[in-house]
Amino acid sequence: MKKILVTGSAGDVGSRLRKLLPAIYPDIRWSDIKTPTDLNAGEEFVAADLSKMDQVEKVVDGIDGVVHLGGFSVEGPWDTILQSNIVGTYNMFEAAYRAGVSRVVFASSNHAVGMYPRSQRIGVNVTVRPDSRYGVSKAFGEAIGAMYADKHGLRVTCLRIGNVGDAPLDQRRLAIWLKPEDLVQLIRIGLEHRDIKFEVFYGASNNIDGWWDNSNAQRYGYHPIGKADDYRDQAMAAQAKLGSDPVGDKFQGGTFSGAEYDAEKS
């Protein structure tokens, strides 16, 4: 990979990658709708609104591989999700294809499958069961990624990311935590592994409470170093301070699954 583009670089995950990726990829263009406040003189940054095709065309120009984190990163009103995540992700794949980009790593989310119960262990071949409009947009991103891979030969890796952070924040995150360095491993597989055509991986560390069979990522050499269990006491102490969420606590998507839920109303 010569030149990498990372969209969504002003967000939490993007900001972590700004610290970790330059040691691996010396030529990175960072993009976001807003300029990061702590931009260094040596960092190349190009602002872009992903819902505007002409702006997306400019950011993908001259790029070999894209890490697409950009968009609205939680549940939101339909028009926000539509413009930022659906139109934005379409624009990114279409512009990348036209510009001759060879690989895209798409930041999907656990919320594409958030309506699976916590009692069920799932792999990557299950039907998507989104828990929110946001989750639907991530399922859309995986589908459009498959289409550009299968019809146009773009090499696409979708990461169903759990929760990226220094440590798992609560009981649910003990199952879905992703150590930032493990995210970097997954990104590297997507950008570099010679056998990638189209793949879906779970973005989770080595979590004994995990709900996901991530053997597909392991097949490509993924060896997560993060262990959520090392933080069990602090995560459970944080959990004890949260109120119970009768619906959210049953489903993998947590509060995203419980919000607006009225399926059991008679």
108: tokens are: 């999907």
Q: Is 59 helix (H, G, I), strand (E, B) or coil?
A: helix
Task: Please pick, from the candidates 31, 91, 109, 185, the single residue that binds ligand 15L as defined by CB under 6 A.
Answer: 109
- Do residues 178 and 89 touch, judged by C-beta distance below 8 A? no
Partner residues linked to 5 by β-bridges:
29, 66
CA distance 68 to 89: 8
Residue 264 buriedness (CB in 10 A; 0-12 / 13-18 / 19+): exposed
- Do residues 68 and 45 touch, judged by C-beta distance below 8 A? no
| β-pairing verdict for 163-164 and 177-178 | parallel
111 versus 188: smaller Cβ distance to ligand 15L: 111
51 versus 110: smaller Cβ distance to ligand 15L: 110
Binding marks (x or -) toward ligand 15L, 16..55, rule CB under 6 A?
----------------------------------------
Task: Please pick, from the candidates 20, 74, 126, 143, the single residue that binds ligand 15L as defined by CB under 6 A.
Answer: 74
Alpha helices in 153-249 (DSSP H): 171-176, 180-192, 215-219, 232-240
Residue 112 buriedness (CB in 10 A; 0-12 / 13-18 / 19+): buried
Task: Reply yes or no on whether 134 is catalytic.
Answer: yes
CB of 14 to ligand 15L, least distance (A): 11
Is 73 one of the binding residues for ligand 15L (CB under 6 A)? yes
CA distance 218 to 141: 23
CA distance 154 to 103: 6
CB of 109 to ligand 15L, least distance (A): 4
CB of 110 to ligand 15L, least distance (A): 5
90 versus 177: smaller Cβ distance to ligand 15L: 177
CB of 108 to ligand 15L, least distance (A): 9
Residue with tokens 């009103």: 77
**Residue 232, C-beta contacts closer than 8 angstroms, at least 6 positions apart:** 174
Binding marks (x or -) toward ligand 15L, 138..177, rule CB under 6 A?
-------------------------x--------------
CB of 114 to ligand 15L, least distance (A): 8
Q: Of 116, 134, 222, 231, which one is the catalytic site residue?
A: 134
Per CB under 6 A, the segment of 83-91, 104-112, 150-158, 226-234 that binds ligand 15L is 104-112
Task: Please pick, from the candidates 18, 68, 103, 111, the single residue that binds ligand 15L as defined by CB under 6 A.
Answer: 111
Contact residues toward ligand 15L (CB under 6 A) are 73-74, 109-111, 163
Catalytic residues: 134
